[in-house]
Structure 1
Amino acid sequence: MPDAFHDSSARDPPPSCHPGTRRNLIDTITSWGLGTSQHTEPMLWMYGPAGVGKSAVAQTCSERLAEGDKLGAALFLSRSVGLNQRDDPCRLFPSLAYQIATKSKPFGDILDNCIQDDPTLVTKSIREQFQELLVKPLSQLEADAAGVVEGLVVIIDGLDECGKGPGTHCDIIEIVAASIRNRTTPFRWVFFSRPETHIVGSFTTDDLCSLTYQLEIRVSRDIDYDITLYLTDGLRKIQQRNGLSDSWLSERDIGVLVSLSGGLFIYAATVIRFVGGRELLGPMDQLRAVLALASGNKGTDSVHPLSELDLFYTLIMRCVPPGIIPRIQAILLLTSFTAFGDTQNARTGRPLLGLQT
């Protein structure tokens, strides 16, 4: 999955933390990865709801660890529309093995021979791939070469985005955990994911608790300062790029945007993309359209300032289990009718589609 690598052109520019933001989280993870933290667990799991900036933190940590020659491999999984082969579990371990091979020529030579001897290795089950593409080549390294890969950090962002659902997610966690318990891989493993029930269940079992350093990233107004910094710098660049006067944006406007963001970096990032977007209404009108949301007045413009979030929430809706989709549709339909104060047919007085309030 080359498009999922941390330095892939397909992800350029990748989501990353704005300078000066998320310092505590980044320092905590990078110090753990560099082995300078008081936490010595061989696995780290950072979890949080969608939109809080997990991928940005993962990207920034990947870059920091790469600068210190400590990054073994990094994959950023995604099943979003338009992204190809970034959620295929059958490509996960081959992709990690490939990246590690670029860090260690002896490992790469052994891996190359293994695949030439049996090209079908890359098509086997993920458990077999892990053994044949990682465990066995690692076991054949000489002491000096083994020392080069010792302690390298492997980052998997978006575990919950891996294509085949809960069973695959749990299998990946258990495969890695077993290698840690059996000491068949020398890496420090990092997972970023949403706190899906099955993933929480896997990481909170008795045997994994002792192996895993857990970090939670929450939706919180405690990061309003970081969002303020991000919005201020982003809007200043838009101002300079478009030759706007200082009067186009006030501190009060920034405060409104921070309030609208509600502790979600994805909202703030979407605001910046929309206001700075080309071939739309122009930054001043686009900024006013966003600010109007604070008063419930969405203006008269046909372009919705948060249209890019539609894709984001479409992805969330795709995660709804098929068996309860009809119930979810009924709830959303009822909510929509209730919002307009009309759950009954105006002509007959009967409930619409049989829905009762």
Structure 2
Amino acid sequence: MSSLQLSLAVIGALTLGAVVIYNYWTSRKNAPRQAEAPMESVGTADTAPEDFEPREPVLTDDFSSLPQPERKPLLDALIDVIATIEMDHPVSGDAALAAVPVTRRVGTKPFHVEGCSDLSGEWEALVAGRRYSAFQAGVQLANRVGALNNIEFSEFVVKAQAFADAVGGTPSFSDMLEEVARARELDQFASAHDAQLSFALCASASAWSPGYIQQHAARLGFVAGVIPGRMVLPSAVAGLPPILSLVFDTQAALADDPALSAIREFSLSLDVPQIAREDQAFERLREVARLLAEHMDGVVTDGNGQILGEEVLNQIANDLQQLYDALDARELSAGSPQARRLFS
């Protein structure tokens, strides 16, 4: 082999090696970032995100020490049409439960029946083994689907009458036109004072694997939800809605090998009327987004891809205070049982 051929062979080998190294470097650079292996030295259990059991926060042994929501009668004249049902004699809770319609909805609105306890005289959800001296049936005036209409009111009357007949009671119904008008007014108020905020967190450079997202979110208190690709920041009170939600591509979470899934964006959301004002949900959303963006090399944007600066975030915070004030004035404070039902 001549010196020229030898030189060309060496140059070719070096070029091929350089290409292989470059391709390897590029693939490593563009590969989705992976979750770190759990540290054995950590005192508490640190389960790898891929091993998380999907679940929404529920009352288990882990949550038994959490405060419980105050239990109150469900029906409220503020957001419900209520028909009272008078009785000639007390009726057992077992008989009342057997008479309740199987379908607990009237059109798109929830339908409920409560009893007046023969012992305490207080309204309560029906319980077997107790006795009730009167009943009230109710249907919600409005929810996020819309206002109660004439057809739904008529269906409510039919269901409430059927229950009253089954327990031997006499119902009293309010005027349909007045209730439907009240439903429309409440729906207009709710539509003007609803707020569901969502931030997008976008990768600045390398994409993320599902495990990488889960690990960083878990460090900030998020737990896996029922739906793959969803995590939630649970309330401090067991049984209440989660304060924040984090959602990424469901298909990526369900992939045969999630570690190979490349995710460049996920969302953080807050359902404002569902969370009490004192929980400072927006402040927590803002801080969580900042920390995740900082630790994961990402940027926080709105739904149109525009980066959310401090000025915009401050304006949102001010607007939310006005929203909270309006809900308080209407006796539908954010996070209250009535608000959670109305804005659902």
Task: Please tell me the TM-score bracket, short chain as reference.
Answer: under 0.3
Q: Which has the higher strand share?
A: 2
Provide the TM-score with structure 2 as the length reference.
0.23
The structure number with the bigger radius of gyration is: 2
Provide the TM-score with structure 1 as the length reference.
0.22
Q: Which has the higher helix share?
A: 1
